[in-house]
Amino acid sequence: MLKRLRNVCKVLRGESVTPRRSVVAGALLLAALTAGSAMAQGSDSQFAFKNNLMPEPAHLQVGEGHLLVQPGLTVTVDRFDNARLDAAIHRAMERLKEETGVEVATAAVRGTSGDAAFVVSVDGAGEAVQGVNENESYQLDVTSQGIHLHAATVVGAMRGLQTLLQLVQNDGTQYFFPAVKIEDAPRFPWRGLMLDCSRHFVPVTKIKQIIRGMAAVKLNVLHWHLSDDQGFRMQSKVFPLLTKDGSNGEFYTQAQAREIVKYARARGIRVVPEFDMPGHTSSWMVGYPELASAKGPFHIQDRFGVFDPVMDPTRASTYRFLDKFIGEMVTIFPDEYFHIGGDENNGVEWRHNARIQAFMRTHGLKGTAALQAYFNRRVLKILTKYHKRMIGWDEVLTPGLPESVSIQSWRGYKSLAKAAQEGHDGILSSGYYLDHMSPASAYYAVNPIPASSTLTAAQKKRILGGEACMWNEYVDGKTIDSRIWPRAAAIAERLWSPESVNNVNDMYRRLHVESVRLETLGLTQISQEWASLRMMAGTEQIAPLRVLAATMEPVSWGERAHYSTEHKITTHAPLDHWVDALRPDPPLRHDFEVMVDAYLQAPRADQAGEMALTHLFASWVQAEPGAQQLMKHSPLLAEAEARPGQLAQLGCVGIAALGYLSSGETAPAGWKAEQLQVIAAAKKPVALTQFAVLTPLEKLVEAVLEDGASSDK
Ligand code: ACM
């Protein structure tokens, strides 16, 4: 097998050089190649606790023993009870049943705790409209005798039920809950996910799936970005042209929006609507040009970026319109907060409108930022009348802004700190943009209150949390899951768990587990990649493409945006290309890093690590002919046709490096430079995608000693 691989590598490299010694004993290698990954498994005792919790609880104590998941296991509610709690218990038990195949009872019964095996004790309903101060804490006690979940509110019980579901383990023959004692409460009360449904519409069923995912990882705010230049997505009965002319027919009816709010509330999730103003408002003006600061005509934008159309802040009619519109929306969205956007107003139309310029002079407004601050104050008055709190992106933070306005920082941590210093509540989104395609580890490292913060305790308290942001320029209902999940779960942990929970390797270990669990909720972040590959290839036989896809990821948002502008990409462009199929931060990216780091600790002794890596590199070499064959017969896949050959070359680089490292032999002078050239050539993005495995491969090559080089450098 190894010989064949080496020969393949030789041909690929057009060389006749072979490593000077067998990489490992042939029998061992063959075993690795045929038996799959040779990664060592721990020899845990049968019922030992494995921490697969995400987010990690604030306090966890592992106990002795376990409780089997047995048929008939029934929840007894012994204190407060209502339909919302019953429904939450029912859903949790349905999931337990589905995931274990054990016929537990899904309906809760009322009773006294007595010797019941599973008791839920809740003190009260919680807030009638869940607010930012809702008590989400819970205590969960699992012993070999039973389960006791206690919470002050129904929402707290929901959080505890999610933890309980994540506790389920099996020993190969039966499912059980390990004995633990958990006391948990979130670090931050505002843990959100912003969904941009304007640039690409997200169907109601998908939003519900996303809400289920949010609940699973204890996110508690759906920030619903409902209007932007590319589409107005919320039905208004008072102003029907908003969607008739501004949505291309893709919008949420009021009944659907109410359904989403209800669905979210049932899962302990608030819905904060955002109607972005005064900029990002092209779609409003198609039907209502009188709102605008320029003459028009206006159209729904089908490109991306910042556009000139902006509301006219000088006319009383603008505020009358907004008063009626907001008055209608508050009947649909009960949350205390109402998001007015406020970002990226370029002020062009204000500067070019003589009437607006005259208004600014009369009112002593120096510059467009001051005029926007005037607009914000007038909108704030309307929101206050409707008993709403205003929140906006950090552009709304201008001198004199009333303290009651909350700030969502997207342009950097500084504005959040400044807001807190000036008395505003705020949340962090800078660093949490999922569309940037960063790895989970990058988001995980972003802390709403960094260790270096010089804020006072009172100011820190004003930082309520953060929100992951899913902007949908290049995302639609089909691809959105892999753009959100599982990376949003890492952000969820950052916002829920104590600051001290920050082991990246352990986060990834748990994230992989959570990703599989999230798919059981109907999300498709793993399976959609494969479905897309099947679609592009026109066959079920896509194994070689999967090997390739596992090593690749989309380029960053910036690179895609640059391409999009250059090639005049519109909102109508299909999102069914190689880049859309690939997952950001594919699991192999981090796993490979860990494998290489572990192996490099002792390359001459670590046979298991060597075998695992050999197996991986062999799969890269072996994938080439099949992947190329499939790409030849698919115009969509042909975009990436350079990649299978490159991957095979990378596999050969890896195999050769292992040969030297495992034997301790030196490579001929110049070998490294050649390998690094192969890696450098593979770095160039193709079809908006890039390899996600190059850095560890470079590390392996760098670790090889060359003839004539000093071994103690
Ligand atoms: C934003 O990203 N413009 C809030």
Quote the pLDDT of residue 25: 37
What CA–CA distance (Å, rounded) separates 485 from 472? 14
pLDDT in tens, 656-711: 999 999 999 999 999 999 999 999 999 999 999 999 999 999 999 999 999 987 65
Query: What average pLDDT is seen over the chain?
Result: 94
pLDDT in tens, 24-39: 333 334 344 444 333 3
On the question of pLDDT at 287 being above 80, the answer is yes
- 3-class SS letters over 180-224: EEEEECCCCCEEEEEEECCCCCCCHHHHHHHHHHHHHCCCCEEEE
Q: Which atom of ligand 1 is nearest to the CA of 393?
A: 4
Measuring CA to CA, which residue among 645, 653, 618, 647 is closest to residue 2? 618
Q: Which of 199, 227, 393 to mutate to test the pocket of ligand 1 (most atoms within 8 A of CB)?
A: 393
Contact indicator for 52, 166 with CB cutoff of 8 Å: yes
pLDDT in tens, 151-208: 999 999 999 999 999 999 999 999 999 999 999 999 999 999 999 999 999 999 999 9
Catalytic hit among 183, 250, 344, 706: 344
What's the gap in Å between 580 CA and the centre of ligand 1? 22
Quote the pLDDT of residue 31: 41
Quote the pLDDT of residue 13: 56
Strand partners, 182: 60, 140
Quote the pLDDT of residue 604: 97
Quote the pLDDT of residue 33: 42
Quote the pLDDT of residue 255: 98
Q: What's the rounded mean pLDDT across residues 322-326?
A: 98
Q: What's the rounded mean pLDDT across residues 614-634?
A: 97
Q: Which atom of ligand 1 is nearest to the CA of 343?
A: 3
What CA–CA distance (Å, rounded) separates 19 from 9? 11
Quote the pLDDT of residue 30: 37
What's the gap in Å between 194 CA and the centre of ligand 1? 11
* Amino acid occupying residue 616: L
What's the gap in Å between 321 CA and the centre of ligand 1? 24
On the question of pLDDT at 118 being above 90, the answer is yes
Quote the pLDDT of residue 37: 38
Could you tell me the pLDDT band of residue 6, with boundaries at 50, 70 and 90? low
First to last CA, the chain: 35
Q: Where in the chain is the domain with CATH 3.30.379.10?
A: 59-184
CATH ID of 190-503, from 3.40.630.10, 3.40.50.360, 3.20.20.80, 3.20.20.70 = 3.20.20.80
Nearest residue by C-alpha to atom 2 in ligand 1: 410
Q: Which residues of 491-521 are buried (b: 16+ CB within 10 A; e: fewer)?
A: bbbbbbbeeebeebeebbbbbebbbebbbeb
Percent pLDDT > 90 in the chain is 92
What CA–CA distance (Å, rounded) separates 602 from 659? 14
What's the gap in Å between 190 CA and the centre of ligand 1? 19
Class of domain 59-184: alpha beta
- Quick check: is 274 catalytic? no
Could you tell me the pLDDT band of residue 567, with boundaries at 50, 70 and 90? very high
Question: Tokens 């026109």 appear where?
Answer: 538
pTM: 0.95
What's the gap in Å between 583 CA and the centre of ligand 1? 23
- Which residues have CB under 6 Å of ligand 1? 343-344, 393, 410
Q: Which of 194, 344, 345 to mutate to test the pocket of ligand 1 (most atoms within 8 A of CB)?
A: 344
What CA–CA distance (Å, rounded) separates 161 from 617? 42
- Among 18-22, 431-435, 494-498, 532-536, which is the least confidently predicted range? 18-22
Quote the pLDDT of residue 45: 79
Q: Where in the chain is the domain with CATH 3.20.20.80?
A: 190-503
Backbone angles phi, psi at 392, to 5 degrees: -150, 165
Quote the pLDDT of residue 636: 96
pLDDT in tens, 288-317: 999 999 999 999 999 999 999 999 999 999
Long-range contacts of 290-296 (CB under 8 A, 24+ apart): 290/317, 290/321, 291/318, 291/321, 292/349, 293/349, 293/350, 293/353, 293/356, 294/349, 294/352, 294/353
Quote the pLDDT of residue 67: 97
Quote the pLDDT of residue 14: 54
- 3-class SS letters over 621-678: HHHHHHHHHHHHCCHHHHCCCHHHHHHHHHHHHHHHHHHHHHHCCCECCCHHHHHHHH
